[in-house]
Amino acid sequence: MDIDQLQKRIQWIEEDRRREKDAISLLENRLTTLEGSISASLQQSKDLSSDITRLSAIITRMDQYDQALTRARVESKQAIDDVDKSILLRFDESEKIRRAEIKSVESSVLDLQKQLEVIPKLDKNIQARIDIEIALRRSIDELRNKIDSVRIEEEEYTRHNSSS
């Protein structure tokens, strides 16, 4: 081999070495970049993991809240149903009381009507008594007048007989 060939070969080897060096440098840069990316990815993974943990806790709380809300709905519905039943019972009781009071009032009204039926009869009786009293007073007045006239006649008769 001659020198030219050796030089060419050395040049080629040097160029190859430079390319390899450039490739190594490029790979080292890529490795550094990947290491930074891995570090960032690890940090992001940790952040995501903490976010997942936090969100899991929130989901758990939301599930508990949903369960509490469901229990509250059921309890509210039960309370409303109980109040409805209570209102219906009170309404029925008040309706029974109202009916009993209406019957009592009707009975009292009937009793009053019966008692009031007697009043016209009593009025007639009172009027008849008044008429009888008026007739008796007239008779008494007539009798007084007759008695007075008989007394006057007797006095005249006695005077007349005593003077004679």
pLDDT at 146 over 70: yes
Q: Give the model's confidence band at 1: pLDDT under 50 very low, under 70 low, under 90 confident, else very high.
A: low
CA dist 11 and 32 (Å) reads 30
Helix (H, G, I), strand (E, B) or coil at 118: helix
- Position 71 scores a pLDDT of 97
Is 0.75 topped by the overall pTM? Answer: no
- Position 164 scores a pLDDT of 64
Q: Concatenated DSSP letters for 14-83? A: HHHHHHHHHHHHHHHHHHHHHHHHHHHHHHHHHHHHHHHHHHHHHHHHHHHHHHHHHHHHHHHHHHHHHH
pLDDT at 154 over 90: no
Of residues 42 and 91, more confidently modeled: 91
List all residues 6 or more positions away from 1 whose beta carbon is below 8 Å from its beta carbon. 9
Q: How far is CA 54 from CA 40, 43, 47, 57, in A?
A: 20, 16, 10, 5
Identify the helix (H) or strand (E) that includes residue 157: helix 3-163
